[in-house]
Chains A and B, each alone.
Chain A
Amino acid sequence: MEARKVRRLAGEAGRSTLRALGDLLIGVGTAVLALGALTWLIAVAVTSLIGIGLPLVPSALRGLHAAADVERARLSRRGEEVLTPGPPPRRWRAALADPATRRELGWAARHATLGLLLGALGLQLPAWAVRDGTFALWWQLIPEGDRTPGLALWTVRDWPGVLTVTLLGLCWAVVTVGLTPAMARLQAGYGRRLLAPGPETDLSLRVAQLTATRAAALDAHAIELRRIERSLHDGTQNRLVATTVLLGAARRMLTRDPAEAEALLERAQSSAELALAELRAVARGILPPVLADRGLAGALNGLATASAVPCRMEVDVPDRCAASVESTAYFVVAEALTNIAKHSGATQATVEVRSGGARLRLRITDDGRGGADENGGSGLIGIRRRIEALDGALTVTSPPGGPTTLEVELPCGL
């Protein structure tokens, strides 16, 4: 019991460290961008004092906005979405007075210095941990003068010294695990604070966007209701009507020809059973009960097992999402697997589902012939509609010859 618990905790610490290191690494990238934008801005500002820099002011501001947008995209991918405050002012006087631009400037100053430092340190720590931790294996292979620990404070001459360096490596490892998540949070924190739209920002753009997706949601809803009505009237009800027709015929036959009546009753019964099966299918189409019983991971694994094409399913979704999001994810995977079986000629499909921050990400790949066309009557249009109804995004990559990849991003809605 204890050993398992320790292993689980170690696994968690390892995952969060790796994630933090990834964040810090990409953070270094945006920090370099911020540094570039800031340097250009300062250069333009200084030269503007003597007049020659003035024509370059718009380009400097554009550079700043672009760097900020890249950082917004990074933060949005890694957690809660950071909204764009809307189009910045064009003229430099207005830009200097624009609170959003001023906050972007504050962010750039911080990210280019503190952010860069945090990122560099965050990447240096594990490097030292590895270097010093493995020092004992290779210290004798390098020239004597170079035998120093990662942080080259002294030169190692003997085995006790090597032991010290190994212990130091262990310390670096502990520090890495202990500090990097906090460093990543720190590096992202001021960005979240300064790059989000302030209270003065006009959110009408965002409102327009949400209005559009809401309309799409209502459309998708209406189409869905129509589909359900169809399957009830044209499927289930027809089965039941057939049942009553057969029962009626059987009753008329009862005295005339009991054997024939028995045969009719038999058919009536199987027709009623068909009606039940269709009713189950319709109900499952509204909201698959397996989602409630087993959660998203269990439901998706069920789909993988039932898939006609062998399917590898990797689900890493620690928290539950809103029911509508989970059922959309379920339908998208179900529809995609059906598509793969029907059209792609693939021998293997892979589905990866991850949740990060407030987003659910799906990636569905197959090794088939590719060339999937959204207007070709495949299920792709339906998939896109369902996803966009929830304010999500779908990217389809399907060159002729394959492979086909569907990337789906859904807000978790919680």
Chain B
Amino acid sequence: MRIVIAEDDALLREGLALLLRAESLDVVATAGTPDAFLAAVDEHAPDVAIVDVRMPPTHSDEGIVAAVEARRRRPGLAVLVLSAYVEQMFATELLAGGARGLGYLLKERVGRVEEFLEALHRVAGGGTAVDPEVVAQLFARSRPDSRLDRLSPRERDVLALMAEGLGNLAIAERLFVSEGAVHKHIRSIFNKLDMAPDDRSDRRVAAVLRYLDGRERAS
């Protein structure tokens, strides 16, 4: 897996590269500005880009703009966006459209190396990684009369992990249950929420996020 890192903070950039290289991952280039990042994408043809949202010159959303441009230049490039804070609207808009090969994580998740690597591999493999904080905020925002109330606590856990982008096997491992049990929960969830079941995980994530965001809630 060929990786390019775009992060303007030098210490953090080097820390990330060091961490990934220690895991024998191939960090082919690191960049501190959007321009350098795009040049690196052109030159090194990476599989995954890890991009900080805030980059020079204005430190607002240059990272996102650059990531979109990089995906335009290199279709199929997986992008894992790292952010200092959760911008809810931005996250759901980015992911609900088409979540294939996209990730949105809080920066500090990188420290939980195993989970971070799992998310990185998932995104690189065309899957999705949504930060638990984004999902938690979506749950917290849902209205009291929502159908979510019909879900059992365990089903809610499964739904949250689905929203994060985890596949059935990964969900089973997280919840210490069998894959079959997860499968059953998921069928029940889709039933209760009136959603068409979908086994492709990236489409599933998009659908779940749209649902949680309130845009596909039955009126």
In the complex, A245→B7 CA distance in Å? 14
Query: Which residues from B are CB-within-8-Å of A246?
Result: 15, 18-19
Contact of B84 with A237 in the complex, beta carbons under 8 Å: yes
Q: Does A130 contact B (CB under 8 A)?
A: no
Instruction: Tell me the complex Cα distance, A256–B18, Å.
Output: 15
Q: In chain B between 1 and 46, which residues have their CB closer than 8 angstroms to a CB of chain A? A: 9, 11-12, 15-16, 18-19, 22-23
Expressed in whole angstroms, the minimum distance between the Cβ of A260 and any Cβ of chain B is: 8
Asked if A230 contacts B15 (CB within 8 A), the reply is no
A238 near B22 with CB under 8 A, answer no
8 Å CB interface, B66-105 against A: 84-85
Contact between chains at B108 and A249 (CB < 8 Å): no
Known: A233-B85, A234-B9, A271-B11. A248 touches B23 (CB 8 A): no
| B83 shortest CB reach to chain A, Å | 9
Given contacts A241-B12, A241-B107, A241-B108, contact A249 B113 (CB under 8 A): yes
Q: In chain A, residues 135-165, which have Cβ atoms closer than 8 Å to a Cβ of chain B?
A: none
Q: For B110, what are the chain A residues with a Cβ–Cβ distance below 8 Å?
A: 241, 244-245, 248
Q: Is B54 interfacial (CB-CB < 8 Å)?
A: yes
The range of chain A's interface size is 20 to 34
Q: Is the CB of A238 within 8 A of B113?
A: no
Q: In the assembly, what is the distance between CA of A338 and CA of B23, in Å?
A: 45
A236 to chain B, nearest CB (A): 10
Which chain B positions have C-beta within 8 A of A249?
15, 18-19, 22, 113
Whole-angstrom distance between the alpha carbons of A271 and B54 in the complex? Answer: 20
Q: How close is A248's CB to chain B, nearest CB, in angstroms?
A: 4
Is B113 touching A248 in the complex (CB atoms < 8 A)?
A: yes
Say yes or no for B215: interface residue by CB 8 A criterion: no
Nearest CB of A to B210, in Å:
29
A242 on interface, CB distance cutoff 8 Å:
yes
Query: What are the residues of chain B within 8 A of A247 when measuring CB–CB?
Result: 111
A312 at interface by CB-CB < 8 Å: no
Q: Is A251 an interface residue (CB 8 A)?
A: yes
Distance A301 CA – B112 CA, assembled complex (angstroms): 47
Contacts A248-B112, A252-B22, A252-B23 hold; do A234 and B15 have CB atoms under 8 A apart? no
Contact of B107 among A237, A248, A251, A253 (CB under 8 A): A237
Task: List chain A residues, Cβ under 8 A from B54.
Answer: 233-234
Q: Does B59 contact A (CB under 8 A)?
A: yes
Bound-state Cα–Cα, A287 to B171, Å = 48
Q: CB < 8 Å: which of B22, B23, B59, B113 contacts A234? A: B59
Alpha-carbon separation in the docked complex, A248 to B18 (Å): 11
Is A240 among interface residues, defined by CB-CB distance under 8 A? yes
> A residues bordering B, Cβ < 8 Å?
230, 233-234, 237-249, 251-253, 260, 264, 267, 271, 274
Q: A233-B85, A237-B107 are in contact. List 10 more A-B contacts (CB 8 A).
A: A237-B84, A238-B107, A239-B11, A241-B12, A241-B110, A244-B111, A245-B16, A245-B110, A245-B111, A248-B111
Q: List 10 A-B contacts (CB under 8 A).
A: A233-B54, A237-B84, A238-B107, A241-B108, A241-B110, A244-B111, A246-B15, A248-B19, A248-B113, A264-B18
